[in-house]
Chains A and B, each alone.
Chain A
Amino acid sequence: MTDVPQDLKYTKEHEWVRVDGDVATVGITHYAQDQLGDVVFVELPEKGASVRQHSSFGVVESVKAASDVYAPVSGEVVERNVKVIESPELVNKAPYAEGWLLRVRLSDRSELGGLLSAGDYKGHIGE
């Protein structure tokens, strides 16, 4: 069984979002990291870059393959997870905690309404 925390929002492309005020923390789901396998490389935009909802903002690579990561929300990158660039395996070990990827200052809160709930996401991955 894959882990799908109740308090997060999700995308069909297997990213998660945790909103705190006007900042959203973004990562990939437990299911996504399990499908990818051992993550060995993470490429993320720098602080100050802007990301657009549904557009690719980075890449997570496993031994097997590279996978684009899509922004669940639009906004400005206020922080990227430097630890995950140094230790990509954090994405596997703690996808919802130390394995987060970006913090984004939301430019359009209404985008959050289009994201999946935990229940919807579980349905999407067939659980």
Chain B
Amino acid sequence: MSDLLRTPLYDEHVALGGKMVPFAGWEMPIQYPTGIVAEHRTVRGAVGVFDLSHMGELWFRGDGALAAVDRLVSSDIAGLEVGQARYGLLTNERGTIVDDVISYRTAPHEVLMVVNASNREKDVAHVTAHLGPGVELEDASGETALIAVQGPRAAVVLSTVTDLEDRDASIERLPGFGVTSGRVGGVRATVARTGYTGEDGFEVFVPWERAAGPWSRLLAAGASAAIRPIGLGARDTLRLEARFSLYGNEIDETTDPIEAGLAWTCHLDKDFVGRDAILAKKQAGPSRRIVGLVVEGGVARHGFPVVSKGEVVGAVTSGTFGPTVEKNIALAYVPTALSKVGTALAVRIRDRDVPATVVRTPFYRRST
């Protein structure tokens, strides 16, 4: 695995017994010794910390920064107040999906965009090609570590190691999708109430070479709250129960936001790259749609055929056993006519057609 990149927390993962695997060019922990199911339940019931330092961080700065990102991203970025963030898509002129990103307005003329590790270089090229005037792009991925703290006890644990710059603000009172700055474990940090697990939680951006400090401080501070490090395996089961898309599975450059169930991220009354194509797709209506499936008798995996009356009609994009819902769940593209909740389908698992039912998503929603 000599060609793989390592995050600044690599040694921490190894010391914690993390099982290191290649992921998007990085050597990352897929799980720690307690296993994926226990890690998943830790995040649903207590608090977990994730190393997401492989993800990309792009900074847009200048008078034109907000307008430039608004032109690139499907969601309403121009409408963000300072200290707010929003999920959205980078789309191309064909109206298909280049990446899914979160954009954080950190200052009046500054936006941080967090992109998938596997797409970073492609995104930089795409963004550069469509960048408006009055803005400078900085790819800070190599200098920025990202630690996520997720779960119902995330705020309590993070607040004990955090000093926010704004003395009147607090971690507990930071609104959902809010972003601010301060020190975490003594290290300068951008702190946001964002995540991808379906739980309350935070994402903490810190300088690359200083990441081990906040990581260790969080684990120590969370000991009494039963904190655990969480690997990519549980990150995937958590996001899937919450019905969050994974780039490369549900979405890619062959899928559009309408069929992917991401029309809600598209602010179609503004101009952005791909807007016209997406509007046309919306008006025409999608021929296929992503649905949630509960599978009876086997785990559906990425690429498995979806079958109706003996005929292949679609494919599974992601599937797993959902540790919280305690069912075998999957997302799949199926023809729109077969996408209604309650529709009886099957997933072809090892040459056998296993019954599957279209269900309402998300599979899991936290009680608030």
Contacts and interface: CB of A to CB of B under 8 A. Distances in A.
A17 interface: no
Nearest to A59: B350
Interface in B67-122: none
A13 B299 CA distance: 22
A66 B350 CA distance: 10
B298 interface: yes
B334 to A, nearest CB: 22
Interface string A40-84: 110100000000000000010111101000000000000000000
Contacts of A64: 30, 36, 233
| Most interface-central of A37, A40, A63, A92 (chain B CB within 10 A) | A63
Contacts of B350: 59, 66
Contact of B36 (A41, A43, A59, A63): A63
Given A37-B36, A38-B37, A66 B301 contact: yes
Interface string B191-234: 00000000000000000000000000000000000000000010
B237 interface: yes
Interface residues of A, number: 13
| Most interface-central of B31, B298, B299 (chain A CB within 10 A) | B299
Contacts of A66: 299, 301, 350
Q: From DSSP, what is the main secondary structure of chain B's interface residues?
A: mixed
B35 A38 contact: yes
A18 to B, nearest CB: 26
Contacts of B323: 38, 63
A61 B321 CA distance: 10
A37 B38 CA distance: 11
B162 interface: no
Contact of B299 (A37, A61, A89): A61
A59 to B, nearest CB: 7
A66 B37 CA distance: 16
Interface in A11-34: none
A63 B301 contact: no
A64 B298 CA distance: 13
Interface string B316-343: 0000110100001000000000000000
Nearest to B236: A63
Nearest to A36: B35
Contacts of B37: 38, 40, 63, 89
Contacts of A63: 36-37, 233, 237, 320-321, 323
Nearest to B350: A59
Contacts of B328: 40-41
B299 A41 contact: yes
Interface in B269-319: 298-299, 301
Given A59-B350, A63-B320, A63-B321, A37 B35 contact: yes
A92 B37 CA distance: 12
A41 B298 contact: yes
Contacts of A38: 35-38, 323
B321 A41 contact: yes
A42 to B, nearest CB: 10
A31 B35 CA distance: 14
Given A37-B31, A41-B298, A61-B321, 8 more contacts: A37-B233, A38-B37, A40-B328, A61-B298, A63-B323, A64-B36, A66-B350, A92-B35
25 contacts: A37-B36, A37-B233, A38-B35, A38-B36, A38-B37, A38-B323, A40-B299, A40-B321, A40-B328, A41-B299, A41-B328, A59-B350, A61-B299, A61-B321, A62-B36, A63-B36, A63-B37, A63-B233, A63-B320, A63-B323, A64-B30, A66-B301, A66-B350, A89-B37, A92-B35
Interface of B: 30-31, 35-38, 233, 237, 298-299, 301, 320-321, 323, 328, 350
